[in-house]
């Protein structure tokens, strides 16, 4: 019936797996829970090994870090059911009927079902950058997501048919953090896969420190530059790339690259402060992308 797949890295996912098991048992369905740690070699995995004592569940550690894309591919390979539910390890279930909502949604016979993600109402002052971007940019109701069914799919909290997943899979060459979801969403848009958006979000539990999220953003933009230069996606699919193409057309990307080189310390200071600006964050993103895109 349902394979619940949890990729993680250096994080205690036992509480999540325990709650998922409880809800799956309450729903009276066939299920399995599989969690792979991506080679973190963390002491936290002593706690994660308790997952192996849960019903129909297993926890394994990759011998080396293969990246989120490949870890998700490995989880799918290890699964035995046709319905794959991917949930990131730092997720929190906000209610007791999360699994039952997916069981009901499966009756629609859609190939992909996306439940959404939300952020808490508040965050610690040193974690406000990730929180603001998630709260005010990424979090969307199912009604808003339905306006653009493919671009709105993030792969945390997504249920997908295994036969479809095996045709697409995650891009193996994307090792670093960032935009692996974007490429996958683009692939399902190309083949016009049926997608159902429902109101069944997970709560983002482990919000990054400002400094950590800024570094992750740099890696994500480097990934996007790789994706863009290797034509792994139609640039029109991503609003950010459409903006960049406009700057490139009028040679504004050279000025933005220079801006980054001159003012990156100022940008970093704001974005790692207690009150980071989303306007500054967007300026950082487009200027940094212009900078790395011009590098040989």
Q: Is the Cβ–Cβ distance between 91 and 115 less than 8 Å?
A: no
Q: Mean of the pLDDT values across residues 43-60?
A: 95
What band does 278 get if pLDDT is binned at 50, 70 and 90?
A: very high
Name the strand (E) or helix (H) holding 26: helix 14-26
Does pLDDT of 257 surpass 90?
Answer: yes
Name the strand (E) or helix (H) holding 197: strand 195-197
- Give the whole-number percent of the chain exceeding pLDDT 90: 78
Q: Is the Cβ–Cβ distance between 286 and 244 less than 8 Å?
A: yes
Domains of the chain: 2-206 (3.90.550.10), 211-294 (no CATH)
Name the packing angle between helices 252-271 and 239-249 (round to 10°).
130
Mean pLDDT of the chain, nearest integer = 93
**Per-residue pLDDT tens for 140-182?**
889 989 988 988 888 889 999 999 999 988 877 776 777 888 8
Does pLDDT of 74 surpass 80?
Answer: yes
pTM: 0.91
Q: Is the Cβ–Cβ distance between 21 and 49 less than 8 Å?
A: no
Q: Mean of the pLDDT values across residues 114-130?
A: 93
With 0-12 / 13-18 / 19 or more C-beta atoms within 10 angstroms meaning exposed / middle / buried, residue 227 is buried
Predicted pLDDT of residue 296 = 62
């Amino acid at each position: 019936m349902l394979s619940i797949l949890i990729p993680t890295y250096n994080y205690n996912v036992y509480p999540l797996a325990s709650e998922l098991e409880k809800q799956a048992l309450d729903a009276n369905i066939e299920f399995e829970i599989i969690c792979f740690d991506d080679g973190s070699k963390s002491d936290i995995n002593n706690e994660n090994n308790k997952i192996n004592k849960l019903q129909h569940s297993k926890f394994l550690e990759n011998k080396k870090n293969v990246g989120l894309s490949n870890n998700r591919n490995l989880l799918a390979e290890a699964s035995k059911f046709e319905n794959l539910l991917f949930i990131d390890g730092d997720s929190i279930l906000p209610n007791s009927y999360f699994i039952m909502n997916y069981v009901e949604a499966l009756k629609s016979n859609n190939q992909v079902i996306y439940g959404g993600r939300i952020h808490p109402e508040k965050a610690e002052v040193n974690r406000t950058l990730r929180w603001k971007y998630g709260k005010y940019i990424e979090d969307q109701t199912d009604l808003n997501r339905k306006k653009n069914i493919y671009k709105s799919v993030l792969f945390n909290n997504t249920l997908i048919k295994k036969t479809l997943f095996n045709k697409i899979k995650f891009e193996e060459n994307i090792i670093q953090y960032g935009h692996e979801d974007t490429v996958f969403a683009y692939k399902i848009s190309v083949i016009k896969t049926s997608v159902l958006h429902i109101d069944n979000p997970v709560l983002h539990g482990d919000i990054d420190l400002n400094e950590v999220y800024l570094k992750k953003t740099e890696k994500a933009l480097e990934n996007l530059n790789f994706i863009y230069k290797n034509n792994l996606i139609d640039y029109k699919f991503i609003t950010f790339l459409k903006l960049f193409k406009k700057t490139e057309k009028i040679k504004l990307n050279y000025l933005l690259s220079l801006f980054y080189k001159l003012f990156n310390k100022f940008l970093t200071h704001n974005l790692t402060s207690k009150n980071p600006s989303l306007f500054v964050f967007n300026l950082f993103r487009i200027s940094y992308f212009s900078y790395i895109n011009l590098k040989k």
